[in-house]
Structure 1
């Protein structure tokens, strides 16, 4: 670990990612393996004027033990005190940082049904908290740092220490910390994303059509009042933040009942320590009616069967094949990075902020507008070097958006 680079990374996360304000509380969800990095971020936050830093530690090795040996009914419960903790900090206007770093195959021998029970209990208990973040009521950001097991999965040919070092180098590059002034580099990056976002919003697309040689042939209708977002986002009081570092995507929401055809995955999906690979989904009037997977079928099934909303899509995201993470030729086995190397979709809950005036709509009105709701939001990658996307705009013109995997706009 290069301490100078790490300090630049922490500074970028807090000043650009979260736009941390003086006297604001910072809550960090962190794997225990990431403690040295988490401590640097916490120290930096205090130096920037944070009122306090709260760290919620996650221990995935213990989680595996618990999923393997605990009575099954335990996973139907979620502690009230944990729910109240998150809601308390939410009400205090805290900033929320999550470190997404786990062993991609640690849970491969764990019953996915047990894991889904725990996921459902957690998502149900924390529904208000999750909805607040997805509606940008508080600033939030997801980042990652290497762990030994993850690094060895990405670079299996290297010794552990070398694998971790190489993964650090890859992360620093993809988040632009390797540049002389990362914060200025992100200002330029946000500007470039906004240019494409503004073009897509001006077109007012009614639908998109995806095709590639893997077998994807999918039509996605968009709600009339949809908005494309990308780069930075804003809270109701206009505080700017970046939800994912890195980010290369421009995204919106699909019309819940307007998805038809077949889509084929282009990269493995790491879901709760289970790898799902070479899978496809078939849609009719928005709903998944068929699915298959060469690897991780039961995990894919558990995702889709979380609730009724998890049978539908909640996000449409555009990422050029010719982008920094894709060009690295590294398969990260981590959705935060892999989704920013590829066009992707998400099963489950839509981001209400992708609909104009969504803050004034209740649940029934959002549903009527085509906004999907679910306990789950799970991204999966579909972008390829030969992906073509066209759209029908508000003038009923057919407009080419992607050719050979890249924007033509």
Structure 2
């Protein structure tokens, strides 16, 4: 076994999930993540955790969704599993990234709505999501398998404490700010952030962070006005999406288009009342991610990118007692800010052309 797999597992169990003896852990394993699952199970056993392993396959999901007759109902037995869990570790890495491409949008929406209580229960745990490098993911990224493995571990096996210290600077600016203004050649978007709590997403539940790799600072915007273009191509629900344009008024999407995948965006926006509103503004800061790979776990953390999520807002970003945007979906869309762009907080430029004001190369 590649020793980096064991390092990955140790980072996930110790730094990210902070697993302790006696913790009840659900280990969700994708089709191609077997080797990582073995290493994680070994680490969990050494720490005295109690583990239930589940199998996560997009091909299995496709078969179920296409054959399903009647209305979808929330699975009470699955809900009970997550309600009793302390931690959920999700190991991604499938065999076919487009396995569910031929599941119709209406079915997806109905299944997502039925799954929402389960998703809420899972997100109430100390959950973490990561990915094991597979040949399918390498192919999707347009890379050789060997190069893709190097890329993945460069993004994951980082000095997370040092990165957390750097990202804390942006968190403070967002916490103190009232409005974010994002500007580029085809984007002019304003978002209110007053009273919201930004998350220093340093790949650990200790930072309210739930992805490995991570390396972003995010918050929950509202009262969105203007337009934005997402020029980073990506796969959503098994469909290729490119150059998505959204126009917001009074916090909601009122018009949209896409060069490809427009029907997918339409289905997404039609999911429920919360889907046409923003649930997240995220700013990528992981310089170990140096290219787009069509995998949201990596792409949204890349330096020189900003992403916005349609749908659900994370509770950690909200003041106590306040409810943010509620939806059965949370789908990220990414824009490249490496050229001809700026990010302002209350009129002050904090990032220009991908460089933050504390980085070399920043132009005021």
Q: Which residue of 2 aligns with 1:168?
A: 149
Kindly indicate whether the alpha-carbon contact (under 8 Å) linking 2:199 and 2:209 is maintained by their aligned counterparts in 1: no
CA displacement 1:261-305 (0-9 Å, x = unmatched): 111112123223222221111100100101111222221112111
Kindly indicate whether the alpha-carbon contact (under 8 Å) linking 1:19 and 1:240 is maintained by their aligned counterparts in 2: no
Q: Which residue of 2 aligns with 1:395?
A: none
* 2:2 is the counterpart of 1:9: no
Q: Which residue of 2 aligns with 1:323?
A: 287
> How many residue pairs were aligned?
354
Separation in 2 of the partners of 1:306 and 1:388?
A: 32
Separation in 1 of the partners of 2:74 and 2:233?
A: 29
Match 1:279 to one of 244, 247, 271:
244
Q: Which residue of 1 aligns with 2:362?
A: none
Match 1:87 to one of 83, 98, 103:
83
Give the ranges of 4+ consecutive aligned residues of structure 1 lying more than 6 Å apart after TM superposition: none
Separation in 1 of the partners of 2:250 and 2:207?
A: 36
Match 2:184 to one of 212, 236, 246:
212
Change (3 A) 1:127 1:99: closer
Match 2:70 to one of 70, 73, 93:
73
SS in 2 for 1:56: strand
Separation in 2 of the partners of 1:283 and 1:40?
A: 46
Change (3 A) 1:385 1:22: same
Separation in 2 of the partners of 1:164 and 1:53?
A: 30
Q: Which residue of 2 aligns with 1:114?
A: 107
Q: Which residue of 2 aligns with 1:314?
A: 279
- Displacement of 1:309 in angstroms is 0.7
Q: TM-score when scaled to structure 2? A: 0.90
- Displacement of 1:242 in angstroms is 3.8
- Displacement of 1:31 in angstroms is 1.0
Change (3 A) 1:17 1:234: closer
Change (3 A) 1:301 1:319: same
Matches within 5 A, 1:373-384: 373-384=326-337
Kindly indicate whether the alpha-carbon contact (under 8 Å) linking 1:259 and 1:285 is maintained by their aligned counterparts in 2: yes
CA displacement 1:340-394 (0-9 Å, x = unmatched): 11211111111122133x1xx1xxxx24xxx2121221111123212211121xx
Q: Which residue of 1 aligns with 2:348?
A: 399
* 2:317 is the counterpart of 1:354: yes
Separation in 1 of the partners of 2:204 and 2:149?
A: 29
- What value does the CA root-mean-square deviation take over the aligned residues? 2.2
Separation in 2 of the partners of 1:174 and 1:10?
A: 14
- Displacement of 1:47 in angstroms is 1.0
* 2:265 is the counterpart of 1:300: yes
| Higher helix proportion | 1
Unaligned 5+ runs, structure 1: 157-162, 177-181, 393-397
Kindly indicate whether the alpha-carbon contact (under 8 Å) linking 1:233 and 1:243 is maintained by their aligned counterparts in 2: yes
Q: Which residue of 1 aligns with 2:142?
A: 155
Q: Which residue of 2 aligns with 1:230?
A: 200
Q: Which residue of 2 aligns with 1:179?
A: none
CA displacement 1:102-155 (0-9 Å, x = unmatched): 4332333332322222222212x325415xx2xxx5322111112332222223
SS in 2 for 1:270: strand
Change (3 A) 1:381 1:298: same
CA displacement 1:79-101 (0-9 Å, x = unmatched): 22112222222xxxx11111233
CA displacement 1:199-239 (0-9 Å, x = unmatched): 433xx2221111112x11111112x311222134887xxx5
Change (3 A) 1:269 1:389: same
SS in 1 for 2:32: helix
| Higher strand proportion | 2
Match 2:121 to one of 118, 129, 139:
129
